């Protein structure tokens, strides 16, 4: 059970990192569009 929980946490952290990266990309695109 412990190993499964650890693997799930690792997967969740990875997915969170990907989401944060996508959000940052969207923010930069929106800011660039406003500047232009």
CA 28 from chain center: how many Å?
15
Supply the pLDDT for residue 4.
95
User: Using one digit for the tens of pLDDT, what is the confidence trace for 1-36?
Assistant: 899 999 999 999 999 999 999 999 998 887 776 665
Interatomic CA distance for residues 27 and 24, integer angstroms: 5
Report the pLDDT value the prediction gives residue 1, as an integer from 0 to 100: 85
Residue 30 confidence (pLDDT): 78
C-alpha distances (whole Å) from 5 to each of 9, 10, 21, 23, 31 are 6, 9, 24, 27, 39
Its pTM stands at 0.59
């Amino acid at each position: 059970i412990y190993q499964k929980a650890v693997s799930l946490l690792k997967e969740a952290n990875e997915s969170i990192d990907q989401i944060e990266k996508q959000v940052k990309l969207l923010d930069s695109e929106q800011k660039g569009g406003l500047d232009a």
